[in-house]
Amino acid sequence: MPSNIDPIERRRTFAIIAHPDAGKTTLTEKLLLFGGAIQMAGAVKARGDQRRARSDWMKVERERGISVTASVMTYDYDGHTFNLLDTPGHEDFSEDTYRTLTAVDSAVMVIDAAKGIEEQTRKLFEVCRMRNVPITTFINKMDRESRDPFDLLDQIEQELQLHVTPATWPIGSGRGFLGCYDLFHDRLVLMAKGSKGAMPELGETCSGLDDPKLDALLPADAVATLREQVEMARALCPEFDLEMYREGHLTPVFFGSAVNNFGVRELLDGIGALAPSPRPQPTAGRTVDPTESDVSAFVFKIQANMDPKHRDRIAFVRLASGHFKRGMKLKHVRSGKLMNMHNPVLFLAQDRELAEEAWAGDIVGIPNHGNLRIGDALTEGEDLRFTGIPSFAPELLQRVRPDDPMRAKHLGRALEQLAEEGAARVFKPVLDANWIVGVVGGLQFEVLADRIRTEYGIPVHFEPAPYYTARWVESDDPIALKSFQDGLRSAMADDHDGAPVFLARNAWHLDTVTKENPTLRFLKTKEQT
């Protein structure tokens, strides 16, 4: 593959979606290993340990064995630039995952071969479907007792309403799993025996199912089954159709075992060959094409305190168009102010470096002091508003108190920062001195308590609050809004921006108040229009 193909055309920005434990972390690591971004598997975890040593709020991650933070890994392989966006697997952090999916052009769906499609796979798949994100499937753990490959294909087809075309076919399974036959190239590339961690050498190649080398290299029954199953699969499954895949109606399916390196190279090559380059991005007025010369970008994630010594935050920005260069000035559309891109960061597998330049599809980190928020646009002047970045209604509300009441003011500031980052919604009740925090998943409370303690030095505890849900209140009639606020002070709060929020005690309360005030709008999220 030539390495000088158009810089946009060569980019593949993708995420891996999976139910926890299906093997996302292992596969990520192996994609980096095969992509030449790391030398030894284990490096991703090592990097994780370093980070943890620096900021121990990730203790929650460690204790529960879940991955909370989303990061980006950029690497070049075979003429392509891959931007792999990591997503938290645990459903309590799905907010982060959903937003990350707005920044990718395709996704790899990892399925455990013994378990098939699981709940979280299904949910994340639905998000991809809503956005027509093309899906490449990797059926992992074929080295374990697994379900029949035809059953697995059938389940994807039936449950996800997605056409399936096997890209590789497993040879044996469980202890007898020997590798995968590459159906797209009609060949089998065996791996030389090597250590699990290091990059395996390529071994023998067999071309075509009739190659006598197959019979010489593999047990007779495995070859017979392979020939029979491939014939059946070719008869039963539709041929691969690039357009159908790109439109999100068909998924190529790769089998493998990430931990044993099986099927990973084929998957990586498949993403390079098939996955789309940066796609046009929707905005309120028009669609932005990645080939436009002016730079435009949107913020899809904020991460604060990556380095606890600095209060800086990193805004993760997806470039939608143009050729970004370090030092350029971009307009921050929400404030109308120009921002100088002094220190944009590029995230490599094990490191970060200054991003001297970047193209549509790339993710750069912009350090800032809190002026960048999720959904914000950066442009060379045009007032663009990117659409489709989801905002979630807080479903769980709790009161937060500092262990030391003298620290209440500091806590307020910490909460405001966390709210701006998008880690939680915070509400200041009009008649109560304690803040109310709203989240989507319960584990977020634990992470918040840990972060407030370690990053801001304020030990806090969460306790139940007598609220059922929160609604932002809006009206075109300021007098009606004011009289509503004055009349219901005990149920009113301000969010971190000072916008009025109604805190309902129960479903009935919400229902009555909504009905009694037809001129007001009760919104589940502030961004909702």
Q: State the binding site.
A: 86-90, 140-143
Q: Given the rule CB under 6 A, which of 141-149, 185-193, 340-348, 414-422 is the region that contacts ligand GDP?
A: 141-149
* Residue 30: CB minimum distance to ligand GDP, A: 9
Q: Does 48 bind ligand GDP (CB under 6 A)?
A: no
Using the contact rule CB under 6 A, the part of the chain among 23-31, 203-211, 361-369, 438-446 near ligand GDP is 23-31
List CB contacts of 181: < 8 A, sequence separation 6 or more: 168, 169, 171, 187, 188, 209, 226, 230
Residue 259 vs 503, nearer CB to ligand GDP? 259
Q: Minimum distance between the CB of residue 87 and ligand GDP, rounded to whole angstroms?
A: 10
Per CB under 6 A, the list member of 13, 25, 106, 517 interacting with ligand GDP is: 25
On whether the CB atoms of residues 473 and 513 are closer than 8 A, the answer is no
Q: How many residues at the interface with ligand GDP, by CB under 6 A?
A: 17
Member of 18, 139, 264, 328 binding ligand GDP (CB under 6 A):
18
CB of 156 to ligand GDP, least distance (A): 18
CB 25 to ligand GDP: min, Å: 3
| 141 contributes a contact to ligand GDP by CB under 6 A | yes
> Tokens representing 35?
């992509």
What is the distance in angstroms between the CA of the first residue and the CA of the last residue of the chain?
46
Interaction mask 63-102, ligand GDP, x per CB under 6 A: --------------------------x-------------
- What is the β-pairing status of strands 377-379 and 363-368? unpaired
For residues 143 and 421, which CB has a smaller minimum distance to ligand GDP in the complex?
A: 143
- DSSP secondary structure letter of residue 48: H
Please give the structure tokens belonging to residue 194.
């090597």
Query: Which string of DSSP letters, residue by residue, matches 292-361?
Result: -SS-EEEEEEEEE-SSTTS--EEEEEEEEESEEETT-EEEETTTTEEEE-SS-EEEBSS-EEE-SEEETT
The DSSP string of 171-197 is ES-GGG--EEEETTTTEEEEEPP--SS
Pick the binder of ligand GDP from 124, 127, 214, 259 (CB under 6 A).
259
Annotated binding site for GTP: 86-90, 140-143
User: Which residue reads 């921050």 in tokens?
Assistant: 332
Structure tokens at 471: 């609604």
Conformation bin of residue 426: beta by default, left when phi > 0, alpha when psi is -120 to 50: beta
Stretch that binds ligand GDP, among 19-27, 50-58, 150-158, 498-506 (CB under 6 A): 19-27
Task: Pick from 13, 81, 140, 368 the residue near ligand GDP by CB under 6 A.
Answer: 140
Is residue 108 at the binding interface for ligand GDP, with CB under 6 A as the rule?
Answer: no
Whole-angstrom distance, CA of residue 171 vs CA of residue 186: 14
Where does 35-189 have alpha helices with state H? Answer: 43-54, 59-64, 94-101, 119-130, 149-160
Nearer to ligand GDP, 30 or 99 (CB): 30
SS3 content of the chain, % helix, strand, coil (to 5): 30, 30, 40
Could you say which of 13, 26, 102, 106 contacts ligand GDP (CB under 6 A)? 26
* Residue 354, CB-side half-sphere exposure with 13 Å CA sphere: 7
Counting beta carbons within 10 angstroms of the beta carbon of residue 272, is it exposed (0 to 12), middle (13 to 18) or buried (19 or more)? middle
CA 201 to chain centre: 31
The reply to whether 258 sits near ligand GDP by the rule CB under 6 A is yes
Nearer to ligand GDP, 121 or 281 (CB): 121
Options 7-15, 176-184, 197-205, 257-265: segment touching ligand GDP (CB under 6 A): 257-265
- Binding test (CB under 6 A) with ligand GDP, winner from 10, 11, 12, 24: 24
143 scored as a contact of ligand GDP (CB under 6 A): yes
Residue 224 makes CB contacts below 8 A (sequence gap 6+) with none
402 binds ligand GDP (CB under 6 A): no
Output 144 or 410, the one with its CB closest to ligand GDP: 144
Of 168, 257, 277, 303, the residue at the interface with ligand GDP (CB under 6 A) is 257
Q: Do 31 and 268 contact (CB within 8 A), yes or no?
A: yes
CB-nearer residue toward ligand GDP: 443 or 452: 443
| Lookup result for tokens 């229902």 | 511
CB of 17 to ligand GDP, least distance (A): 10
Tokens of 509: 């309360």
Q: Considering the complex, what minimum distance in angstroms separates the CB of residue 16 from ligand GDP?
A: 8
Catalog residues that contact ligand GDP under the rule CB under 6 A.
Answer: 18, 20-26, 89, 140-141, 143-144, 257-260
